[in-house]
Amino acid sequence: MFLLVSFYSKADTCLPNVEGLCTPGVTIDEQVTVEKTEEDKGTEIIFTTTTTKTTTTTTITNEDSGDILEGDNDYVTTNTEGDMDIDWGGEGPASMPSGTSCGQLGPDRCAQITGSGNNKSR
């Protein structure tokens, strides 16, 4: 005779498809397996119970990555960092309007391409 009873508890952790930051903390997952066996020796019956407990501890942290557009942080190379030392082109000159020309965005909250053709530079 073989009887297998399993108890499993999993805390609410950040799933792989979650967007954004996970909630920092420590989760402990425990899995308990109880195995009972019975052995008939003819004149006696021997019962054996084996309990196995597996504990997994997971620590979730959200570390500050700093300036991800800085070439020294190993997120981007120095020639693609966000320091604007290269003009990557665009649709001509731009302006930073303010006041009512920004619509409902409010003052100093929008940029606009003033357009003068397809001026692109690098």
Rounded average pLDDT per 10-residue block, the chain, 122 residues: 41 60 82 94 93 91 78 76 61 60 61 54 42
Query: Residue 64 in 3-state DSSP?
Result: coil
What is the biggest distance separating any 2 CA atoms in the chain, rounded to whole angstroms?
101
pLDDT at 36: 95
Query: Parallel, antiparallel, or unpaired: how do β-strands 2-9 and 25-40 relate?
Result: antiparallel
